[in-house]
Amino acid sequence: MPPGPFGLDPLLWAPLRLVIAVVLALFLVLNGALLQIYLERKIQAVIQDRLGPYHVGPFGLLQTFADAIKLIAKEDVRARLTDTYFFLAAPALVFCPMLASWVVLPFAQDIVGTNLNIGLLYLTTLGSMTVLGIITAGWAPNNKYALVGGLRSAGQLISYEIPQILALVSVVLVVGSLSMIDITRSQTGPFVNVLILPFSFVLYFIAALAETNRTPFDLPEAESELVAGWLTEYSGMRWGTMLALSEYGNVTVVCAIVTTLWFGGWQGPGVDAIPLLGVLWFTLKVYAAIVVMMWIRATLPRLRIDQLMSFCWKGLIPMALVNIVVVAVLALAFPTTKVPIAIASWLLLVIFVIGIPLVQRRRLRALRVRARAATAPAVRAAS
């Protein structure tokens, strides 16, 4: 057992370390959510040529704090026919897996909860557990909008989990480890993984947008169709826990995975001299990814449910499988150099980007022909 710092008794240090880690993770999650809500509103405001929050505090910085206090102080509303235990359990079922994922996030060289040798698998496992909480939250309030929203959301999460995991596999094939620390260590220097595997990065980022319910995949919260999806009956801090904390926590976790796997994690200039600088680099990279997500949210409209599903099953999953096959074959054929993999991955990316409009145009034409064929007999009957 390792002795603690300042000559602390290991028997005292081991539980103390646990408490410090949990408190730190909670602190980061809560404040991260507050900061990200503020960022989200400000960035959208800038993009849409508005001011955003600016009344409370300097630059509106205290707005989200005020909102959080309002949420905590709000009355706990519960309909009579809700299933009490399930209703109370659902926020915890959504929140706990997200919080548990923070165990393996490598903030800097030695600042990591634990170096699990299956870190990446552990993260995907916890990601898949969120679905259970969402289905419970949809079923418990005995509300048809919540139920439909919950089932829809679960379908979306289960579908997009597949390309997400398949995109991770290609990185694991190149690096040869599932540990977050090893994956970071493998990307020393300027040649981070995004230059070698840009295609799997794009696939993962698209799937991650869907997995965290971000626009253009925020169907669970499609107000015009479903009120608020599985969150319909929740209010106050239960709503705050599930939507604000869990969603933004998941966004952070996903962006941390992106940073670690494709952007070199904590590594950056000056890290070898001052290891604590890694925290800064890691946070900067994570928040850069988060800002890109917010930018996408302010730019794109929402997809329809059938478009969402067909894009996943007919577009992302086949491409992810092709990507795995190509990377695996090239990794086996050229074990010493990564150049062929990089070339192939960039080629696949170009094909993907060019191919989408072509496929879409053909689909549109087919749809138009079909629509004309369907309306023609009706027109003939009317005339």
Partner 1 sequence: MTFDFVEPVIFALLSIGVIAGGVAVVMLNRITAAALLMAFTFLSMAGMFVLLGAETIAAFQVLIYVGAITVLILYGIMFTKFSDSPRALFFQKQTPLAGVFVAAVAVPIVMVATVSFTGARPGPGGGDLPALATSVFTDFAFPFEIASVLLLAAMVGAIVLTKREDPEEAVRRRRR
- Preceding amide of 163 cis, omega within 30: no
Among the candidate windows 29-37, 150-158, 248-256, 270-278, which touches partner 1 by CB under 8 A? 150-158
- Asked if residue 86 binds partner 1 (CB under 8 A), the reply is yes
Among 178, 208, 251, 257, binds partner 1 (CB under 8 A): 178
Place of tokens 């509106």: 60
CB of 152 to partner 1, least distance (A): 11
Among 44, 82, 128, 186, binds partner 1 (CB under 8 A): 128
Pick from 319, 94, 125: nearest CA to 220? 94
- Asked if residue 310 binds partner 1 (CB under 8 A), the reply is no
In eight-state DSSP terms, residue 115 is: -
Among 41, 56, 74, 124, binds partner 1 (CB under 8 A): 124
- Asked if residue 121 binds partner 1 (CB under 8 A), the reply is yes
Q: How far is CA 305 from CA 15, 122, 229, 312, 315, in A?
A: 47, 29, 13, 11, 15
Q: Tokens standing for 114?
A: 């634990």
CB of 212 to partner 1, least distance (A): 16
Reduce the DSSP state of residue 138 to 3 states and report it: helix
Among 8, 18, 158, 367, binds partner 1 (CB under 8 A): 158
Binding mask 330-359 for partner 1 (x = CB under 8 A): ------------------------------
Determine the distance from the C-alpha atom of residue 24 to the mean position of all C-alpha atoms in its chain, rounded to a whole number.
Answer: 21
**Quick one: CA dihedral 102, 105, 111, 113, positive or negative?**
positive
CB of 117 to partner 1, least distance (A): 6
Residue 282 amino acid letter? F
- Asked if residue 139 binds partner 1 (CB under 8 A), the reply is yes
Pick from 152, 132, 104: nearest CA to 246? 132
Q: Distance between CA 102 and CA 15 in Å, rounded?
A: 18
The count of C-alpha atoms lying within 13 angstroms of the C-alpha of 1, restricted to the half-sphere facing its C-beta, is 11
- Asked if residue 14 binds partner 1 (CB under 8 A), the reply is yes
CB of 372 to partner 1, least distance (A): 13
Among 35, 151, 292, 344, binds partner 1 (CB under 8 A): 151
Pick from 119, 123, 151, 121: nearest CA to 135? 151
- Asked if residue 307 binds partner 1 (CB under 8 A), the reply is no
CB atoms closer than 10 angstroms to residue 326: 18
Q: Tokens standing for 32?
A: 């991260």
CB of 159 to partner 1, least distance (A): 12
Binding mask 205-244 for partner 1 (x = CB under 8 A): ----------------------------------------
- Asked if residue 25 binds partner 1 (CB under 8 A), the reply is no
- Asked if residue 94 binds partner 1 (CB under 8 A), the reply is no
Q: Distance between CA 150 and CA 94 in Å, rounded?
A: 12
- Asked if residue 317 binds partner 1 (CB under 8 A), the reply is no
Pick from 44, 52, 67: nearest CA to 215? 44
- Asked if residue 101 binds partner 1 (CB under 8 A), the reply is no
- Asked if residue 87 binds partner 1 (CB under 8 A), the reply is no
CB of 121 to partner 1, least distance (A): 5
Q: Distance between CA 12 and CA 4 in Å, rounded?
A: 8
The residues of the shown chain that bind partner 1, judged by CB under 8 A, are 1, 11, 14, 83, 85-86, 89, 116-118, 121-122, 124-126, 128-129, 131-132, 135-136, 139, 147, 151, 154, 158, 161, 178, 370, 373-374
